[in-house]
Amino acid sequence: MSGHSKWATIKHRKGAADAKRGKLFAKLIKQVEVAARQGGGDPDANPTLRTMYQKARDNSVPLDTIERAVKRGTGELDGVSYESISYEGYAPGGVALYIECLTDNRNRTGSEIRSTLTRNGGTLAEPGSVAWQFERKGVVLVPSSAGSEDDLMLLVLDAGAEDLVSDGDMWRVTTAASELNAVRDALVEAEITPESADLTMLPTSTVAVTEPAAARTVLKLMDMIDDLDDVQDVYSNFDIGDDIMEELAD
């Protein structure tokens, strides 16, 4: 799973460039709005909204922009009604893809997903054929300089985390989805600022991709899907070796 985790880390850091283009901001604002619509506008009573609110703040989305998104979600301000929908598919080589979208036009979004997959050697799969290969988890990235493995392990496990592993210059903390905010709060209380804290879908098993050309094809397809306006996240079960990931990241 190390290759998949490294891609997620690269994607997170790529967010700085996305933010400058406004694309990341638009996705985060939409996530906040939908979370408020589904569970109410109080972050203390709506854990999903709290997670999305903090994610937006961590990525420097202005506070007034976030608050307007919350009000659109609760109906205090007029806004577009977005629908949550997921798509499942395969990249070349049998690599599974799970794609989460927020859309105001299901037909447009489905057509864009199908076209992007087809043009790049992938296929759209039947609902349920891929989802079972993933689990919803919380993932917190903490700079390695934040502390020793033993100290951090004790801190996050006491807060409800499941695991802590080294991921390059980061510690990667995995939690149950329901424990993400508690673990993040424990880190902040200990004066440790997470690099990111987000809900994700982690694969329960992986497909090895051992050739650089094949790895490049898979990563290119994932980037193209991720760049679609209605796509919020795209997850995969590939396992690409660190050496290949580093080569492709240069």
Q: What is the pLDDT of residue 9?
A: 54
Indicate if 133-203 has the same CATH topology as 84-128+205-249: yes
The burial class, CB within 10 Å (0-12 / 13-18 / 19+), for 78 is exposed
**pLDDT averaged per 10 residues, the chain (length 250):** 51 53 84 93 93 90 93 89 93 94 95 96 94 94 92 95 89 94 95 91 91 90 91 91 74
Q: What is the pLDDT of residue 104?
A: 92
Give the tens place of pLDDT for each residue, 26-62: 899 999 999 999 999 999 999 999 999 999 998 889 9
Q: Model's pTM, two decimal places?
A: 0.84
As assigned by CATH, the class of the 2-74 domain is mainly alpha
Question: For residues 231 and 228, what is the distance between their CA atoms, to the nearest angstrom?
Answer: 5
Q: What is the pLDDT of residue 97?
A: 95
- CATH among 3.40.640.10, 3.30.70.980, 1.10.3210.10, 3.30.1220.10 for 84-128+205-249: 3.30.70.980
Q: What is the pLDDT of residue 245?
A: 76
Question: For residues 86 and 139, what is the distance between their CA atoms, to the nearest angstrom?
Answer: 20
Q: Write down the domain spans for the chain.
A: 2-74, 84-128+205-249, 133-203
